[in-house]
Amino acid sequence: MKKDTLSSRRQLFSMTWPIFLEAALFSVIGSVDTLMLAGWSDHAVGAVGVVNQILALFQVISNIITTGTGILCAQYIGAGLGREKQQPLILGALLVNSTLGLLFSLGAVFGADLLLGMMTVPAEQYDHARAYMQIVGGGLLVQMVTLTFTVLIRSHGKTRATMVFSLVMNLINLVLNYVLIYGKLGLPTLGTSGAAIATVVSKCCACVMAGWFLFRKVLPGLSLRPQWKATRAAIGQVLAYGSPAAGEQISYTLSKIVVMAMVTSLGAVAVDTWSYVNIVVSYVYLFSMALGSGTSILVGWAVGRGDHEEADRLCHFSLRCSFLIAMAVLGVLVLVREPLMDLFTNDPAIIALGGSVIIANVVLEAGRSRNLVLVSALRAAGDVKFPLYIGLFSMWLFSVGFSWLLGIQLGFGLVGIWLGLGLDECFRAIGMQLRWKTGKWTTLAVGH
């Protein structure tokens, strides 16, 4: 094995492990949050799961900017382009995402009833969902600015810093959840509203930390004076790369919202199980997600300097690691599925259904573990349209169509819906693997 290949793999894991720990920490503390909220009400947990599915759509739209910015920034760094080239890119991204964040915050606050009505949220969950939607949705501006800061910091390889920010944010959220949900330290018992307030406050703290680090440590002395001509040009380039990439994510989120409406039609037990199982299986794809993020940075750098062979080696190495580790973790979860579900609830119906869904998740993770790497690598290389095209076809045929067929029409319920989601992931994984092998991505970087 060549020395440069060993060096690249070490660099890949050096960037990946902080992202993995950050994601793992987020999931662990998120699980504790859910346990706290479950101690308040199972219906509150289900309501938060529905709302988070809606809010994810707003966040995905902001990825039009953050995704395009990350692609361009990584390729600029790989090509040796400095701060002068990055300045209009950074300011343009912050300007657009701040504007979108403000509009989305207003939409979530004043359009909560309309959005929840479209999701046909069960009556016993509605008040919980409305409170969470208005408070957390009102903080979308802060969240979108933070995401912009984070993608810029990661593009420069500073993944350890974002891990620290996440640690602080999640610890703040954990403490505030305990205090506000149950009314500790003399404060009123706020339940779902308390969990929402804790989320927003912790994200505000993360935003301040990330902004300070970006402008003081990563890009000190960066001029914040906009050069309008250069900034407009940069925004146009960001949209050219970011729109197809975000379009694929928007399609994914919209399809999941349609699927979520199917789940809600199955009743509160299915909705609560959906929320709990999503938390459990999130541990399966944590490493794949982190590896995809690390791969995208290094592939972007490699493509920026014209080293396509290195980008190809990194992608294939990441694919093998992602699949093997995801399957190993999922195997453990399958073996202990009932004790895991018992941690969240004592409802036997939810525990039994959750165990069956975790087994069905094998199909889903076989595809997702590869998609998380392949999509990241293709986007980083500038091939942003193909994931959109195959996603539009597969998500609506398999994720929505087969979820409806298996889950609703044939009566397999939540397990059938999960299998439909799995067929979508597997189809897209095969398609994107074939696309990478064609080498078309080698001609689509900035400057080609």
pLDDT per residue over 380-427, tens digit each?
Answer: 888 989 999 999 999 999 999 999 999 999 999 999 999 999 999 999
What the block records as the tokens of 89 is 């890119």
**Cβ atoms of residues 240 and 69 within 8 Å:** no
pLDDT band at 5, cuts 50/70/90? low
Percentage, residues of the chain above pLDDT 90: 35
What is the distance between the alpha carbons of residues 342 and 336, in angstroms, rounded to a whole number?
10
Within 10 angstroms of residue 128's Cβ, the number of other Cβ atoms is 26
Q: What is the pLDDT of residue 1?
A: 39
Q: Compute φ and ψ for 383, nearest 5 degrees.
A: -90, 80
Q: What is the DSSP string of 91-143?
A: HHHHHHHHHHHHHHHHHHHHSHHHHHHHTT--HHHHHHHHHHHHHHHHTHHHH
pLDDT, one tens digit per residue, over 63-75 is 778 888 888 888 8
Q: Compute φ and ψ for 122, nearest 5 degrees.
A: -55, 145
What is the distance between the alpha carbons of residues 222 and 208, in angstroms, rounded to a whole number?
17
Is 319's pLDDT higher than 50? Answer: yes
Q: What is the mean pLDDT of residues 78-90?
A: 75
pLDDT, one tens digit per residue, over 220-255 is 877 767 677 777 887 887 888 888 877 887 888 789
Which run of H or E residues covers position 165? Answer: helix 159-182
Give residue for tokens 């009400």. Answer: 41
Distances (CA, A) of 43 to 12, 123, 279: 41, 10, 15
Least confident of 58-67, 109-118, 151-160, 189-198: 58-67
Q: What is the pLDDT of residue 3?
A: 41
pLDDT band at 326, cuts 50/70/90? very high
Is 80's pLDDT higher than 80? Answer: no
pLDDT, one tens digit per residue, over 250-295 is 888 789 889 988 998 898 889 888 888 988 888 888 889 889 988 9
Distances (CA, A) of 230 to 48, 258, 380: 42, 40, 23
Which run of H or E residues covers position 392? Answer: helix 385-394
pLDDT, one tens digit per residue, over 35-51 is 777 777 777 777 777 78
Q: Residues with Cβ < 8 Å from 210, sequence gap 6 or more?
A: 146, 149, 150, 153, 162, 165
Of residues 5, 65, 67, 94, the one with CA closest to residue 383: 67
pLDDT, one tens digit per residue, over 392-404 is 999 999 999 999 9
pLDDT band at 316, cuts 50/70/90? very high
Helix %, strand %, coil % of the chain (to 5): 85, 0, 15
